[in-house]
Chains A and B, each alone.
Chain A
């Protein structure tokens, strides 16, 4: 369709026009999504396929764009807190931390030691939760139904623990400027210790059931190999980067909070394929358990929120960047303040966006069924990409 009066090409949206079919008659243009079970949300990928092989792939974004960044400019600092639980619903506490940490850095606010330890414990519990859901959902994509049920059984325990202190089960709004909203109690500590003891044999069971399974190995081994150059080019972070053998973790490279006092490893895999990313995430769950156990022993008494914490913060003029390590990679908040009660600009750096950007390059030349495996191994959360 062509509008003569306006001189506009109105056929299809921007992406469809951008993605013109090639003259060849052998290829087929295929839409994967926006409603596709393996895209976990509303991600649309346009594929040009020759038989079962992908020639070109292009992700289309923006189906659940909610103006999270704009909302930061029209809400006061403290009013923006609940938004952070909704950017990435799986690792909500990391986003909470990134924003709260940025405001604290801008204001020069000290956080009590106890609050820092509470943050570490809850954030790591949330990371385990996120990895467990990814594990279940990824295997669901690959055709195994039962693992997600086991994953949800474990997730339920973590959600009960976190609900006790934060009041929510998924979209947490727990951290406050200068601390956390509620102190942890003895039952929380006891339950968390119980959970750590419970999950270890479960992880062994997962290894027997899934990781060593020959069907899974066939679907993930030597599939979706990402070279270091591609990772560097697109700014990939998190388990995707570590799955290709690069030892980068914000918790170690740019230590924030009390992570420098805790002893843990950064798991990496040298195979660069989907299996590498899978193994990195499974080892990360074990490392998180290690961190939680150490933090529970080291946690000092004291206030859970700084006495100087303002109810309505008004940071001085300036710009600050604060990054934390989320389940998917580096989560960053760039905050600009003009000295008023409203932020001038809130830029959210989401790891899933960078990780997805690599997809056209990795998917080129692979089978359609492998593309599903690659997409799942990137661990995408669509609300985080669109923001």
Chain B
């Protein structure tokens, strides 16, 4: 009886000492946590991280997105948080005076005979409601024009849900302006 009690006490003291040893070892190791508001995670540690989506600009014009307005991202989004509006606008073309022999033909007929006007797509608005986004990445993978990518915006916090409704066209414009400014400073 006393023997088993003594053994138990001895075992308890041993496991306590082992625990203290491990705690003391860890006590001497450097701090692992990042003190968030004062320090942030290094950018290379964010490789592959999915932030909210953003538009990719055309290589020749940083103000215009690659988007072709097909709406595939909007259709595939499980939460329905993407809203794309686009319109087709006719390109301006030169006005030729009609041929001498055709001057008397009615106006409608000449229009029908004329070749179809070239149109181009302009993205009117591209809105993202980040509140419902689950970051599955289906829109980015399914974009046929490669116009979407994940941003590295990770420190998002706000009191209002309105702050997470992003206008991605405006965001692109801001990014483009920042890029231009940077280039200007570089050339100076």
Residues of A within 8 A of B (CB): 75, 78-83, 85-86, 146, 150, 153, 156, 160, 163-168, 171, 173, 176, 181-182, 187, 205, 208-209, 212-215, 311-312
| A–B pairs, 16, beta carbons within 8 Å | A78-B76, A79-B76, A79-B138, A81-B136, A83-B78, A160-B45, A167-B48, A167-B49, A171-B134, A173-B134, A173-B135, A187-B47, A213-B15, A213-B19, A214-B8, A214-B12
In the complex the two chains form, is A205's CB within 8 Å of B19's CB? no
In the complex the two chains form, is A173's CB within 8 Å of B18's CB? no
User: Complex Cα distance A167/B150, Å?
Assistant: 9
In the complex the two chains form, is A146's CB within 8 Å of B76's CB? no
Output the least CB separation between A360 and chain B (Å).
34
Tell whether B177 is near chain A: CB-to-CB under 8 Å: no
Output the least CB separation between A216 and chain B (Å).
9
Residues of B within 8 A of A (CB): 8, 11-12, 15, 18-19, 22-23, 26, 32, 45, 47-50, 76-78, 134-138, 141-142, 150
In the complex the two chains form, is B136's CB within 8 Å of A208's CB? no
Which residues in A have their C-beta under 8 angstroms from that of B136?
81-82, 173
User: Complex Cα distance A171/B134, Å?
Assistant: 9
Known contacts A79-B76, A164-B48, A167-B49; A311/B142 CB under 8 A: yes
In the complex the two chains form, is A182's CB within 8 Å of B48's CB? yes
Which residues in A have their C-beta under 8 angstroms from that of B77?
79
In the complex the two chains form, is B137's CB within 8 Å of A181's CB? yes
Which residues in A have their C-beta under 8 angstroms from that of B76?
78-79, 312
Output the least CB separation between B7 and chain A (Å).
10
Which residues in B have their C-beta under 8 angstroms from that of A81?
78, 136, 138
**Which 4 pairs between the two chains have the least Cβ-Cβ distance?**
A167-B50, A82-B136, A79-B78, A173-B136
Q: Which residue of A lies closest to B41 (CB)?
A: A160
Which residues in A have their C-beta under 8 angstroms from that of B150?
167
In the complex the two chains form, is A82's CB within 8 Å of B78's CB? yes
In the complex the two chains form, is A146's CB within 8 Å of B23's CB? yes
Output the least CB separation between A331 and chain B (Å).
19
User: Complex Cα distance A187/B47, Å?
Assistant: 11
Which residues in B have their C-beta under 8 angstroms from that of A176?
141
User: Complex Cα distance A86/B45, Å?
Assistant: 24
Q: Which residue of B lies closest to A167 (CB)?
A: B50
Known contacts A79-B76, A163-B49; A209/B142 CB under 8 A: no
Which residues in A have their C-beta under 8 angstroms from that of B137?
167, 173, 181
Which residues in B have their C-beta under 8 angstroms from that of A150?
26
In the complex the two chains form, is B18's CB within 8 Å of A208's CB? yes
In the complex the two chains form, is B22's CB within 8 Å of A167's CB? no
Output the least CB separation between A70 and chain B (Å).
14
Which residues in B have their C-beta under 8 angstroms from that of A82?
78, 134-136, 138
Output the least CB separation between A198 and chain B (Å).
13
In the complex the two chains form, is A80's CB within 8 Å of B142's CB? no
User: Complex Cα distance A215/B15, Å?
Assistant: 9
Output the least CB separation between B41 and chain A (Å).
10
Output the least CB separation between A301 and chain B (Å).
20
Which residues in B have their C-beta under 8 angstroms from that of A212?
15, 18
Output the least CB separation between B139 and chain A (Å).
11
User: Complex Cα distance A181/B11, Å?
Assistant: 52
In the complex the two chains form, is B47's CB within 8 Å of A208's CB? no
User: Complex Cα distance A312/B138, Å?
Assistant: 11
Q: Which residue of B lies closest to A212 (CB)?
A: B15
Output the least CB separation between A65 and chain B (Å).
19
Known contacts A214-B8, A214-B12, A311-B142; A153/B134 CB under 8 A: no
Which residues in A have their C-beta under 8 angstroms from that of B11?
214
In the complex the two chains form, is A80's CB within 8 Å of B18's CB? no
In the complex the two chains form, is B141's CB within 8 Å of A181's CB? yes
Which residues in A have their C-beta under 8 angstroms from that of B22?
205, 208-209
In the complex the two chains form, is A209's CB within 8 Å of B18's CB? yes
In the complex the two chains form, is A164's CB within 8 Å of B134's CB? no
User: Complex Cα distance A307/B141, Å?
Assistant: 14
